[in-house]
Amino acid sequence: GQSLEQPSEVTAVEGAIVQINCTYQTSGFYGLSWYQQHDGGAPTFLSYNALDGLEETGRFSSFLSRSDSYGYLLLQELQMKDSASYFCATSGSARQLTFGSGTQLTVLP
Amino acid sequence: AAGVIQSPRHLIKEKRETATLKCYPIPRHDTVYWYQQGPGQDPQFLISFYEKMQSDKGSIPDRFSAQQFSDYHSELNMSSLELGDSALYFCASSLGAGISGNTIYFGEGSWLTVV
């Protein structure tokens, strides 16, 4: 099976940079994804890493180290609207995405 | 652009009743997923379909069943409902396997309350 661990809560101020870490254990590994979810809303895809290294998409970047079974999501120039839950997710099989327990990010003014 | 459509958005059922949730994936997407998310929990994978055939199965109770129809819409049937089934149920779809980094798009979810 798959298990992913991430911090339950992170707090930062507007304009700051925050990093959300994720460690995983999987029986098979097909890349690490990141999703954002606002309260009561649908998870929204943010980023995906199949290979080691950094992927940058605007203010968001994601990093993967397969040898360390570790990844992180980096959010820059934080805005109030970034307050949400962030999930790392991975797959051990073709059409099954397993989510971590989620990190609640609170952005303070 | 068309998104994943779920219905109903909200429903209230009594214990031991049956509920059916419907999902209309994004046109031309070949994979449909169902997730259950309890309050404060992460989305739990239930089941997925590829080209109308069941693909992967997660923590779906035996009381639940799902299928995908010829028009690609999918339904999640839940019987003998229990209080613990109260949750937000998401349907999602993708073109190609999600493991390849193909974006999985989620619907807005169906809120099920069992009383």
What is the residue-level pLDDT of chain A in tens, covering all 109 positions?
A: 778 999 999 999 999 999 999 999 987 788 899 999 999 899 999 999 989 999 998 999 999 999 999 999 999 999 999 999 999 998 767 678 889 999 999 999 9
Cα B66 to Cα B22: distance, rounded to the nearest angstrom: 10
* B12 SS3 class: strand
Q: Judge contact between B51 and B60, C-beta under 8 A.
A: no
Q: Do B42 and A91 touch (CB under 8 A)?
A: no
Cβ contacts from A onto B, under 8 A: 72
Q: Do A94 and B104 touch (CB under 8 A)?
A: no
Q: What is the pLDDT of residue B9?
A: 96
Q: Judge contact between B19 and B113, C-beta under 8 A.
A: no
Instruction: Closest CB to A96: pick one of B58, B88, B105.
Output: B58
Is A72 in CB contact (< 8 Å) with chain B?
A: no
User: What stretches in chain B show pLDDT beneath 70?
Assistant: 1, 97-102
Per-residue buried b or exposed e for A3-16, using 16+ beta carbons within 10 Å of the residue's own CB:
ebebbeebebeeee
